[in-house]
């Protein structure tokens, strides 16, 4: 088993997975926060926009988004993100992973917003803070602390969902696994090695987020 | 009281498990026996369900060269066409399907390779294919793998064809997608300039109704893929029977007929080495 895998760049493939995960989680966090702000804003049109975003992307299969980014966006609409085919696929994968998981980040954050007592928002407005100020100074900091656990779950889901990027040719762990299976025939040990790789990535994160959620929780 | 009930429930489910296991073991042993004695008890054959011209499932109908070869071989083994159970055999699952006895034969664009021979046995080859290029019919610049520099080429992620292109022709821009159908869609929408894999698979797509006249196979193969019929490892008696069946199929003309019927529509001609002489069974 070891000699089979030594012929493949397993670490390189997992490095691509990590790059995908880090870039997409930053993108998802930024976009998701923005959508959450839209959803809790007092303006009806913005609320509808946020709700529409979440309902669209939370209910679309990620594989579909991924394949659309190439067959639809790149080839038919001509929206290429890089001249090089590999870089284009990688960037689209980051975009689609961000867009998809932003919907889940938004909902996690909104659950965090709900942990902040309504009296605090009212107090913030009554001392003259604008909506933006009260959000920035009072609501969101507490919302993030209350949403650490669900955000951790979204991040773990995102890391595992990076495997979907293989369908548009990104050379991540899942892509390498299909190569190994093609050449060496699929055995349980091949699957176990790749599964173990993901456990190594996600298990410490799960533990970290559980302890963070305990330490950061706002005591009320 | 509750503990006793749980214990009883466990005992019952354990007994059920044992009974099921016994049934499973018994039936698989039975079918294996029937298969190797060539009886008419039916055969389970693994094919591709999504490869036009080779193995394609449309409703309850199965068509393609692999299906025809499998039906012919099953006939020689004494199994009527109506008694064949077709089972989907995606590339990654073929060895497992055979070694666990879920299928008796695999006829699914299954190239004979040394790595695979360690897990399963092969009869054949019944066809010699080669890696080739599929292009739009108005394409003139691409005439073979050496004219691909700077062009966009599509293949399936992880496939042997994709790996070969990466190793041998590093100047080519390779787009890897999940399935060949997606590659064909990208080719038709001019997102990529060519699609590469076995010429048989390419010919199957070029012959599909919706692509007729729009695509052509370049016809300059740059590898040799020897398609064999996969069998359970070490089943020499079965291997001999299947090999004889393939020989009979070539000599009585049915082989040529089935190749023409399934792949001929796009002007495809079977390349060098066809019709093949099956290897001796090990």
More confident of the two residues B270 and B117 = B117
User: Residue B253: how many CB atoms within 10 A of its CB?
Assistant: 9
Q: Are A167 and B177 in contact (CB < 8 Å)?
A: yes
Report A:84-103 residues touching B (Cβ under 8 A).
84-86, 89
A176-198: per-residue pLDDT in tens?
888 888 777 667 788 888 999 99
Q: What is the pLDDT of residue B6?
A: 57
Among residues A103, A120, A108, the alpha carbon closest in space to that of A146 is found at: A108
B24-70: per-residue pLDDT in tens?
333 333 333 334 444 456 889 999 998 888 898 888 889 888 999 99
Give the rounded distance of the alpha carbon of B247 from its chain centre. 19
User: For chain B, which domains are there?
Assistant: 34-129+225-266 (3.40.190.10), 131-217 (3.40.190.10)
B101-117: per-residue pLDDT in tens?
899 999 998 889 888 88
Query: In angstroms, rounded to a whole number, what is the distance separating the alpha carbons of residues A146 and A148?
Result: 6
Q: Are A76 and B189 in contact (CB < 8 Å)?
A: yes
Q: What is the pLDDT of residue B30?
A: 36
pLDDT at B251 over 60: yes
pLDDT at B3 over 80: no
Residues 6+ apart with CB under 8 A from B133: B142, B144, B145, B148, B153, B194, B195, B196, B202, B217, B218, B220
Q: Are A166 and B157 in contact (CB < 8 Å)?
A: yes
- Smallest CA–CA distance from A89 into chain B, residue: B175
pLDDT at B248 over 80: yes
Cβ–Cβ < 8 Å for B39, B78 = yes
Chain A residues close to B157, C-beta within 8 Å: 166-167, 169, 175, 178-179
Q: Sign of the CA dihedral A90, A95, A98, A103?
A: negative
pLDDT at B122 over 70: yes
Interface residue A185 vs chain B (CB under 8 A): yes
Query: In angstroms, rounded to a whole number, what is the distance separating the alpha carbons of residues A29 and A13?
Result: 24
- CA dihedral angle for residue B266, residue B267, residue B273, residue B279, rounded to 10 degrees: 40
Q: Are A67 and B157 in contact (CB < 8 Å)?
A: no
Q: Are A169 and B175 in contact (CB < 8 Å)?
A: yes
Query: In angstroms, rounded to a whole number, what is the distance separating the alpha carbons of residues B53 and B58?
Result: 12
Q: Which of A176, A183, A185 sits opposite B95 (nearest CB)?
A: A185
Among residues B266, B217, B258, the alpha carbon closest in space to that of B127 is found at: B258
Cβ–Cβ < 8 Å for A116, A135 = no
Q: Are B177 and A168 in contact (CB < 8 Å)?
A: yes
User: For chain A, which domains are there?
Assistant: 2-216 (1.10.3720.10)
Q: What is the pLDDT of residue B9?
A: 54
Q: Are B175 and A181 in contact (CB < 8 Å)?
A: no
Chain A residues close to B160, C-beta within 8 Å: 182-183
Reduce the secondary structure of chain A to three states and give it as a string: CHHHHHCCCHHHHHHHHHHHHHHHHHHHHHHHHHHHHHHHCCCHHHHHHHHHHHHHHHCCCHHHHHHHHHHHHHCCCCCCCCCCHHHHHHHHHHHHHHHHHHHHHHHHHHHHHCCCCHHHHHHHHHCCCCHHHHHHHHHHHHHHHHCHHHHHHHHHHHHHHHHHHHHHCCCCHHHHHHHHHHHHCCCHHHHHHHHHHHHHHHHHHHHHHHHHHHHHCCCC
Interface residue B91 vs chain A (CB under 8 A): yes
More confident of the two residues B83 and A53 = A53
Give the rounded distance of the alpha carbon of B248 from its chain centre. 21
Q: Are A169 and B96 in contact (CB < 8 Å)?
A: no
Among residues B239, B208, B198, B258, the alpha carbon closest in space to that of B106 is found at: B239
**Which residues pair with residue A177 across a beta bridge?**
none
Q: What is the pLDDT of residue A8?
A: 84
Residue A63 φ then ψ, to 5°: -60, -40
Cβ–Cβ < 8 Å for B84, B45 = yes
A182 to chain B nearest CA, in Å? 6
> What tokens were used for B158?
């992880």
Interface residue A74 vs chain B (CB under 8 A): yes
More confident of the two residues B277 and A116 = A116
First vs last C-alpha separation in chain B:
62
Cite the DSSP H helix spans in chain B: 2-36, 65-76, 94-99, 114-117, 160-168, 180-188, 199-206, 236-251, 254-263
Q: What is the pLDDT of residue B7?
A: 58
Q: What is the pLDDT of residue B38?
A: 42
| pLDDT band, residue B138 (cuts 50/70/90) | confident
Query: In angstroms, rounded to a whole number, what is the distance separating the alpha carbons of residues B158 and A15?
Result: 18
Alpha carbon distances (Å) from B152 to A84, B123, B214: 10, 37, 18
Chain B residues close to A8, C-beta within 8 Å: none
Give the rounded distance of the alpha carbon of B259 from its chain centre. 15
Prediction ipTM score: 0.72
User: What does pLDDT average to in each consecutive run of 10 residues of chain A (220 residues)?
Assistant: 76 92 96 94 94 95 92 84 86 95 95 91 92 91 92 94 90 86 75 91 93 85
| pLDDT band, residue B220 (cuts 50/70/90) | confident
More confident of the two residues B18 and B2 = B2
Q: What is the pLDDT of residue B235?
A: 86
């Amino acid at each position: 088993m070891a000699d089979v895998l030594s012929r493949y760049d397993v670490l390189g493939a997992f490095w691509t997975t990590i790059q995908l995960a880090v870039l997409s989680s930053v993108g998802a966090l930024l976009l998701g926060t923005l959508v959450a702000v839209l959803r809790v804003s007092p303006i009806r049109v913005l609320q509808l926009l946020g709700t529409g975003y979440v309902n669209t992307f939370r209910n679309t299969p990620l594989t579909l988004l991924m394949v659309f980014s190439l067959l639809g966006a790149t080839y038919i609409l001509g929206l290429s993100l890089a001249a090089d085919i590999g870089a284009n696929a990688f960037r689209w994968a980051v975009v689609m992973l961000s867009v998809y998981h932003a919907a889940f980040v938004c909902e996690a954050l909104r659950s965090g917003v709900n942990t902040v007592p309504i009296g605090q928002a009212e107090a913030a407005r009554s001392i003259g803070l604008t909506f933006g100020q009260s959000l920035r100074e009072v609501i969101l900091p507490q919302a993030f602390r209350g949403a650490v656990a669900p955000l951790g779950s979204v991040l773990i889901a995102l890391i595992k969902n990076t495997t979907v990027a293989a369908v548009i040719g990104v050379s991540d762990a899942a892509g390498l696994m299909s190569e190994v299976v093609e050449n060496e025939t699929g055995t349980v040990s091949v699957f176990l090695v790749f599964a173990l790789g993901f456990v190594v990535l996600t298990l410490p994160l799960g533990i970290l987020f559980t302890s963070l959620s305990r330490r950061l929780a706002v005591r009320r | 009281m509750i503990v006793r009930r749980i214990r009883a429930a466990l005992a019952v489910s354990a007994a059920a498990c044992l009974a099921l296991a016994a049934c499973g073991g018994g039936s698989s042993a039975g079918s294996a026996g029937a298969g190797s004695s060539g009886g008419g008890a039916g055969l389970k054959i693994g094919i591709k369900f999504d490869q036009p011209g080779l193995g394609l499932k449309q409703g309850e109908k199965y068509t393609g060269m692999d299906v025809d070869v499998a039906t012919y071989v099953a006939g020689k083994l004494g199994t009527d066409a109506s008694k064949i159970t077709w089972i989907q055999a995606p590339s990654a699952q073929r060895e497992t399907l055979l070694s666990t006895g879920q299928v008796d034969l695999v006829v699914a664009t299954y190239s004979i390779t040394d790595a695979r021979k360690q897990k399963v046995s092969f009869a054949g080859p019944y066809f010699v294919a080669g890696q080739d290029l599929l292009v739009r019919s108005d394409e003139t610049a691409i005439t073979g793998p050496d004219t691909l520099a700077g062009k966009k080429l599509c293949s399936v992620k992880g496939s042997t064809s994709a790996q070969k292109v990466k190793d041998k022709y590093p100047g080519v821009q390779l787009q890897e997608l999940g399935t060949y159908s997606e590659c064909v869609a990208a080719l038709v929408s001019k997102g990529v300039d060519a699609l590469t894999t076995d010429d048989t698979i390419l010919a199957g797509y070029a012959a599909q109704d919706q692509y007729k006249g729009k695509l052509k196979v370049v016809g300059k193969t740059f590898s040799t893929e020897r398609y064999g019929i996969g069998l359970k490892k070490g089943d020499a008696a079965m291997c001999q029977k299947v090999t004889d069946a393939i020989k009979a199929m070539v000599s009585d003309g049915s082989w040529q007929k089935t190749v023409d019927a399934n792949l001929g529509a796009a002007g495809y001609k079977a390349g060098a080495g066809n019709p093949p002489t099956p290897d001796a069974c090990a």
